Amino acid sequence: MARRPGRPATVGFRLSEEGRAALALTSLWVAALFLFGVLFVLLASLFWGQNSFLPRSATREVVIFAFSQPGLVEAGLVSGLLLTPLVFLFNFREARRNHDRFQTLIRSLEHLSPDDLGLPLPENPEDREMTEVTQQIRQSLMRLQVAMNQVKQQFTSDVSHELRTPLAVIKGKVEVALLKERDQDYYQERLREIGQQADLMQSMVKGLLDLARLDALARLEDAEATDLLIVAEEAVDGVLPVLSSRGQKLRQDLESAPLRGRETLLIRLCANLLENASKYSPEGGELGVSTRAEGSSAVLTVWDRGKGMDPETREKCFQPFWRGDTARATQGYGLGLPLVRRIALLHQGQIEVWSAPDSGSRFTLRFPLDTENLMQPDPGEEEEEA
């Protein structure tokens, strides 16, 4: 490749991390040596001047005396030239040793997995500093392991509790039906009730599987260009039958708000929010959805004027299976909002929640705006409006 004219060729080299550290320490040593020499001359002039602060005559006499001694300057220069490489080599050795110690620790940490945080870490009793660092890391990992185990135990307990209720209902209805002969209408009614309980359990299992799949995703690999306006329209089409059956009114204020993500997941997010708003709103109540581009964010807002949430529920509403006092009278397992939170995190979104008892709730989600696909106003339309 031809070199760009007018730009001189340069030849350079790159120091390793150890070399840069050693060079920095050596530079500090040389600077300290220089400052020590200056300080020595100043202090000598101070004492030479007999309690006068840096008299010019005393300073001149000290400097003349020091530099008039045969070989003193040459000896100082030679000593400095000899000591500087030695100091550099010593610093390089120390920097290399420190680098190797931390690289060994880093390689050990790379083998850790969420399922096993108790792998042994390198230890050297003679290396006190590294031993302290290793102990601090080990203690942090132990605390993390304990916290993860508590979360798993709580999750298992919650799942068992939620499954126990519908299973108990099914078992009870079957046992009662088998006590004696019944007519066909009775059996059909009991089977219908058992089917409803089975549907609830299937819904919970599906929610758990969806949550597990989302938790397994570190980031979106197949993000595509989409728009919150399209997302909201698709979600509204899916929940309109539910709203109509409850006589609820939906206000829509939809504007273009492009972003990048997985459209199916975003539709699920918006649908969950709308279903949640409908569930906690009275029949004939009002709820709404809006989308807009605001600054560098694509904003989705879903609101209702229903039961609202108390401060504790507002704080914990994104935890799986959490249901506040106002939610216990409604069907569900408390998995809708955790799915919303996980999908939002996958899309680098932020969630703001406002709610108050008997005043409704408002969920506002902000995603990074896809400015490349932002619709620009038509100049012709602007002229017509003017």
- Of 317, 337, 335, which is closest to residue 162 (Cα–Cα)? 335
- Using the structure block, give the residue that is written with the tokens 């000896």: 75
Task: Please work out, in degrees rounded to the nearest 5, the angle formed at the alpha carbon of residue 296 by the alpha carbons of 293 and 297.
Answer: 50
d(CA 100, CA 106): 10
Rounded Cα distance between 3 and 233, Å, is: 56
What's the pLDDT at 291? 97
Using alpha carbons, list the distances in angstroms from residue 203 to 68, 237, 332: 96, 21, 9
Task: Please give the domain boundaries of the chain with CATH numbers for all domains.
Answer: 18-109 (no CATH), 154-216 (1.10.287), 224-368 (3.30.565.10)
CA distance 214 to 110: 24
Contact, 357 vs 307, CB < 8 A?
A: yes
Query: What is the per-residue pLDDT for 112?
Result: 67
Residues whose CB falls within 8 Å of the CB of residue 105, separated by 6 or more in sequence, listed in order: 121, 122, 130, 133, 134, 137
Strand partners, 304: 287, 361
Look at the block and give the residue holding tokens 């420190």.
98
pLDDT on residue 209: 82
Q: Residues 6 or more apart from 114 whose CB is under 8 A from it?
A: 148
Model's pTM, two decimal places? 0.58
Would you state the pLDDT for residue 374?
A: 72
Please say whether the beta carbons of 122 and 105 come within 8 A. yes
**Distance between CA atoms of residues 312 and 317, nearest Å:** 8
pLDDT tens over the chain, length 386 residues: 444 444 444 434 444 555 555 556 666 666 666 666 666 555 555 554 444 444 555 555 655 555 555 555 555 655 666 666 766 666 667 667 767 777 777 777 776 666 666 666 666 666 666 677 777 777 777 777 777 777 677 767 767 767 777 788 888 888 888 888 888 888 889 899 888 888 878 877 888 888 888 877 767 777 899 999 999 999 999 999 999 999 999 999 999 999 999 999 999 999 999 999 999 899 999 999 999 999 999 999 999 999 888 888 888 888 887 766 555 555 666 788 989 999 999 999 999 999 988 889 999 999 999 988 776 555 444 444 44
- Rounded Cα–Cα distance for residues 340 and 337 (Å): 5
d(CA 299, CA 368): 9
pLDDT at residue 331, as a whole number: 60
At 148 the pLDDT is 73
Q: Is 227 left (phi over 0), alpha (psi -120 to 50) or beta?
A: beta
Token couple for 293: 């581009």
Q: What gap in Å lies between CA 304 and CA 361, rounded to an integer?
A: 6
Does residue 193 contact residue 166 with C-beta atoms inside 8 Å?
no
Give the chain as a 3 state SS string. CCCCCCCCCCCCCCCCHHHHHHHHHHHHHHHHHHHHHHHHHHHHHHHHCCCCCCCHHHHHHHHHHHHHCCCHHHHHHHHHHHHHHHHHHHHHHHHHHHHHHHHHHHHHHHCCECCECCCCCCCCCCCHHHHHHHHHHHHHHHHHHHHHHHHHHHHHHHHHHHHHHHHHHHHHHHHHHCCCCCCHHHHHHHHHHHHHHHHHHHHHHHHHHHHHHHHHCCCCCCCEEEEHHHHHHHHHHHHHHHHHHCCCEEEEEECCCEEEECHHHHHHHHHHHHHHHHHCCCCCCEEEEEEEEECCEEEEEEEECCCCCCHHHHHHCCCCCCCCHHHCCCCCCCCHHHHHHHHHHHCCCEEEEEEECCCEEEEEEEEECCHHHCCCCCHHHHHHHC
